[in-house]
């Protein structure tokens, strides 16, 4: 994991990236995901049907996947691009690939 | 989605399934996932480095995947098995496959 | 991996399973996948555009995923069901879950 | 899909990319995958145990995933990097993200 220090070195934090996913929109979506997780916990406590519970978990996964892909595009268009332009691409691309592998089966 | 009524028809709710994932353990893990989502929202608000944020999202995904596989095993050993034994296997297996496809790429 | 001996113990080989994916259809689809892999090798030799090559690899993955889900349904409706009915469900369900995990991220 | 023409525009074909996956090594691996697909077809024809067949399909998937990730790194370090440097990054990054989504669940 990069430290906060590294973040400072990045000219394009999420909130100013080229793709520009609206920050408050991202937070809103994460709050919704947080609520979905709370809802699933409640379903388990209520002995709800396992298929309904698993369907809800799959919905959270989809929401996280969409969020991750948006952030990945924002990161690539921001930090990675500026790193490549400033001749510092090797580390940025390697880091990007490590990240992509985390989201691939 | 199955209704609460269907859950009642299932002889093996999560909390009594053969695989028996401890219910309070499931809730504890879901609460942790809920906290992780809240933490990621905070990271976005603080303009933390996108790679750190994406790494945290990948961690939530892994936690959800593990939870889903445990519930799937519990459901198969519980509801699906009893449905098959009571000669009601067709619907149960079809529902199981629909569920599995949701978690496969 | 189960041995051929185990296969014999299974009352429902693919070709006689409840879901009954036509055997020659399965072989035809596998031959097509084999041809796609050969095609990708040719694209690499011809220095074709990497994006075209990766798009073809993704197409092979989708074809394999669809095939796997059909076989999984056939296996569940065949071997797993008969094992459960004959009171031998524990091993069959555990094996099924191990299999499902191989296809989930 | 991009045309051969586009490939020409790319200064870093696979065989000369920064990451430089050896071309003959890529072809060798693709030939092996082709042989694995042929082997699975044979298993189906021989009514081999479905679990063995599915295990082999999962092995092909893993081989393809590894190949795809190597090509993706090569493409990013080659075509995408040079496009960004030549001020042509927008299309290249968008194309890269479309590609990544194909390999994510």
Are the beta carbons of A65 and D104 separated by less than 8 Å? yes
Residue B43's nearest CA partner among C25, D9, A67 is A67
Q: How far apart are CA D48 and CA D11, in angstroms?
A: 48
Percent with pLDDT over 70 in chain D:
79
- Residue C71: CA count within 13 A, CB half-sphere: 33
What average pLDDT score do residues D93-105 get?
A: 92
Longest dimension (CA), chain D: 56
Least confidently predicted of A8-12, C2-6, D69-73: C2-6
* pLDDT number for residue B21: 60
Closest residue on chain A to D82 (Cα): A84
Predicted complex ipTM = 0.84
Confidence of residue A5 (pLDDT cuts 50, 70, 90): very low
* pLDDT number for residue D105: 66
* pLDDT number for residue B67: 96
What is chain D's mean pLDDT, rounded?
Answer: 85
Provide the H-helix boundaries in chain B. Answer: 4-9, 23-45, 50-75, 81-85, 89-103
Residue D34 · residue C34 · CB < 8 Å: yes
Give the number of beta-carbon pairs within 8 Å between A and B. Answer: 156
How many residues belong to chain B? 105
**Distance of residue B62 Cα from the nearest chain C Cα, in angstroms:** 9
Residue whose entry in the numeric block shows the structure tokens 């480095």:
B49
* pLDDT number for residue B3: 42
B16 or A46, which is more confident: A46
- Answer whether residue B26 shows pLDDT above 70: yes
Residues of A in contact with C105 (CB under 8 A): 104-105
| Chain B contact probe: residue of A37, A56, A74 with most B CBs at under 10 A | A37
Confidence of residue B33 (pLDDT cuts 50, 70, 90): very high
Residue C80's nearest CA partner among C101, C64, C95 is C95
In angstroms, the Cα distances linking C84 to B5, B89, B94, C8 are 25, 10, 16, 17
Percent with pLDDT over 90 in chain A:
74
Q: Which DSSP state fits B104?
A: B
C-beta neighbour count of A76 within 10 angstroms: 30
pLDDT in tens, C76-96: 999 999 999 999 899 999 999
- As to burial, measured by CB atoms within 10 angstroms (0-12 exposed, 13-18 middle, 19+ buried), residue C39 is middle
Are the beta carbons of B72 and C103 separated by less than 8 Å? no
**Measured between CB atoms, which of C37, C49, C57 is closest to D37?**
C37
Q: Which DSSP state fits D18?
A: S
What phi-psi label fits residue A87: left (phi over 0), alpha (psi between -120 and 50 degrees) or beta? left
- Answer whether residue B13 shows pLDDT above 60: no
Percent with pLDDT over 70 in chain A:
79
Show the tokens assigned to C27.
Answer: 């072989």
pLDDT in tens, B49-81: 999 999 999 999 999 999 999 999 999 999 999
* pLDDT number for residue B10: 56
Percent with pLDDT over 70 in chain C:
79
- Answer whether residue A26 shows pLDDT above 90: yes
Q: Which DSSP state fits D87?
A: T
**Distance of residue B2 Cα from the nearest chain C Cα, in angstroms:** 20
Closest residue on chain A to D63 (Cα): A105
Q: How far apart are CA A14 and CA B61, in angstroms?
A: 21
Confidence of residue B35 (pLDDT cuts 50, 70, 90): very high
What average pLDDT score do residues D12-21 get?
A: 49
The SS3 assignment for D104 reads strand
Provide the H-helix boundaries in B15-49. Answer: 23-45
Closest residue on chain B to D105 (Cα): B105
**Distance of residue A9 Cα from the nearest chain C Cα, in angstroms:** 31
pLDDT in tens, D20-45: 568 999 999 999 999 999 999 999 99
**Distance of residue C90 Cα from the nearest chain D Cα, in angstroms:** 15
Q: Kindly report the pTM of this predicted structure.
A: 0.85
| Chain B contact probe: residue of A2, A17, A54 with most B CBs at under 10 A | A54
- Answer whether residue C105 shows pLDDT above 70: no
* pLDDT number for residue A21: 60
C-beta neighbour count of B23 within 10 angstroms: 15
Strand partners, C104: B104
Say which residues have a Cβ less than 8 Å from residue A93's Cβ, sequence separation at least 6. Answer: A80, A84, D73, D76, D77, D81
Q: How far apart are CA B105 and CA C104, in angstroms?
A: 7
Closest residue on chain C to D1 (Cα): C52
Residues of A in contact with B102 (CB under 8 A): 54-55, 58
Of A85-94, C3-12, D1-10, which has the strongest mean pLDDT?
A85-94
Residues of D in contact with A65 (CB under 8 A): 104-105
What average pLDDT score do residues D37-66 get?
A: 96
Residues of A in contact with C104 (CB under 8 A): 105
Closest residue on chain B to D101 (Cα): B105
- As to burial, measured by CB atoms within 10 angstroms (0-12 exposed, 13-18 middle, 19+ buried), residue D100 is buried
pLDDT in tens, B83-102: 999 998 999 999 999 999 99
**Distance of residue D61 Cα from the nearest chain C Cα, in angstroms:** 6
Q: How far apart are CA D95 and CA D105, in angstroms?
A: 18
Helices (runs of H) and strands (runs of E) counted in chain D:
5, 0
- Answer whether residue B8 shows pLDDT above 90: no
Longest dimension (CA), chain C: 56
Q: How far apart are CA A81 and CA B65, in angstroms?
A: 32
pLDDT in tens, A54-101: 999 999 999 999 999 999 999 999 999 999 999 989 999 999 999 999
């Amino acid at each position: 994991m990069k430290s906060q220090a590294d973040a400072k070195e990045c000219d394009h934090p999420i909130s100013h990236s080229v793709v520009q996913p609206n920050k408050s929109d991202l937070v809103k979506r994460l709050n919704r995901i947080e609520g979905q997780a709370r809802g699933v916990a409640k379903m388990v406590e209520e002995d709800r049907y396992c298929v309904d519970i698993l369907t809800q978990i799959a919905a959270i996964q989809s929401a996280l996947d969409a969020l991750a892909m948006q952030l990945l595009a924002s990161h690539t268009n921001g930090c990675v691009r500026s790193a490549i332009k400033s001749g510092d691409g090797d580390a940025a691309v390697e880091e990007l690939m490590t990240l992509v592998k985390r989201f691939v089966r």
